[in-house]
Amino acid sequence: MNDFVEFFSFSDTNIRYVTLGSVLLASSSAVVGCFTLLRKRALVGDAVAHAVLPGVCLAFILSGTKNPFILLLGAFVTGWLSLVAIDFITARSRIKEDTAIGLVLSVFFGVGILLLTAIQHSGNAAQSGLDKFLFGKAASLVGEDLIAFAIVAVLLLVTTIIFYKELTLLCFDQAYAKTIGFPVRLLELLLTTLTVFAVVVGIQAVGVVLMAAMLITPAAAARFWTDKLSLMLVLAALIGAFSGVAGAFVSYTAPAMPTGPWIVLIVSMIAILSFAFAPKKGWVSRLLRQRRNKTQILEENLLKLMYQLGEQKPNYDAPRQLHELLERRAIPQKEAKAGLKRLQNQGYVEKLPSGWKLSSQGQRRGERVVRLHRLWELYLTQYLHLASDHVHEDAETIEHIITPELEQKLIEELDFPVMDPHSARIP
């Protein structure tokens, strides 16, 4: 508790630098990462992250100092050249983008390692700590680093706000953007530049190895919670900021723990929880939805069977034995019993000593399923010209998802039909 109070009081200058730097890094990279993710260029961030290392080394060799602005400038140049190289290779050869990314990543990173090794053996005393660009040094950020972070973060956020509409159109409908006269190529260069800036500003905190995670993971997590881009940007920034604060806190309470990797680990944990428990797109909600759909289909099939048996007499009020239903459709007996029990609890069927009987409510629901099945069969034969013996399976699936609006439209399109393709009455 003492560590918690001391950390969040931000009385220590180092705590302020590390926390604010981590927040600026994580939130600004996450915003740019949203556009990169939506353009399906997630691996580009990894390529740029590895490609900035030779730029950092060259900037140090030429300047002889570790001034963060000079190092960031060198990182920006080689990072931007790496993206230009990827686009050039993809456009001018038969090599696909993923191969070009792997090629550029390995070549630039290899050159960076060679230059870093040469610097370490040069005897230059100022090179101490330069290797931190490989794995980050968030826990040792100083005021000069923070100023650089703040300038780049503000630049990224302001540019995103100004060009929000253009970047959105570029991500979702590039062809339409060209049609209405947007400078698509310039917009692509702008997004490329923003991506490079986001990577460059982050390598000092988490290093070239982990920077791709900071760019893409918050955006991927946010994507599971919303379909609206503006909300996705806000969520990604908040996830990134929270990860930055949490990573700095863990590093403060456990000094042996590096800040950068903990930031990545926390944002990855948030992403995993999002993948699992997001309300609409998480795999848990998908499993629950599939289970609900399976239950609904079983219940409607049972009501449909009971209604069809009633059509034969016709007598919809007659009790039906379970074996009568199972003879007409191959449903596991255990599932059928459970389905009938649920229908009884919902008031659709009644349990009598002589069998199961449709209630008036159940009769109406069963009648609707039969009607939708036969309407769809008729639609397929009349509009798609399918043979009448080839439409049953398709109707078995579609009957459970047709909305009342679509049902009414089908009836009108088919001119209020009375018989289906098999000469059965449409109720």
In this structure, the answer to whether residues 394 and 362 fall within a common structural domain is: yes
pLDDT at position 121, please? 77
As a whole number, mean pLDDT of residues 170-176 equals 86
Structural domain harbouring 40: 16-281
As a whole number, mean pLDDT of residues 319-325 equals 87
The residue written with tokens 């001391």 in the block is: 6
pLDDT at position 368, please? 93
Structural domains counted in the chain: 2
As a whole number, mean pLDDT of residues 97-126 equals 82
Concatenated DSSP letters for 110-121?
HHHHHHHHHHHT
Lowest mean pLDDT: which of 8-12, 246-250, 280-284, 343-347?
8-12
| Residue finishing a domain among 228, 248, 281 | 281
Say which CATH number the domain at 332 has: 1.10.10.10
The better pLDDT of the pair 7, 73 is held by: 73
Mean pLDDT over all residues of the chain? 85
pLDDT digits (tens, 9 = 90+) for 260-310: 788 888 999 999 999 999 988 889 999 999 999 999 999 999 999 999 988
Whether 125 has a pLDDT exceeding 60, the answer reads: no
In this structure, the answer to whether residues 49 and 124 fall within a common structural domain is: yes
Classify residue 320 by its DSSP letter: B
The residue written with tokens 């660009």 in the block is: 133
Whether 126 has a pLDDT exceeding 70, the answer reads: no
The better pLDDT of the pair 3, 235 is held by: 235
| Residue finishing a domain among 247, 281, 315 | 281
Residue 8 within a domain: no
| Residue finishing a domain among 281, 296, 316 | 281
Cα-atom radius of gyration of the chain, to the nearest Å? 31
pTM over 0.85: no
What is the per-residue burial (b if ≥16 Cβ within 10 Å, else e) of 7-44?
Answer: beeeeeeebebbbbbbbbbbbbbbbbbbbbbbbebbbb
What is the per-residue burial (b if ≥16 Cβ within 10 Å, else e) of 305-343?
Answer: bbbbbbeeeeebeebbeeeebeeeeebeeeebeebbeeb
Contact 86, 47 (CB under 8 A): yes
As a whole number, mean pLDDT of residues 315-319 equals 85
In this structure, the answer to whether residues 92 and 223 fall within a common structural domain is: yes
Residue 203 within a domain: yes
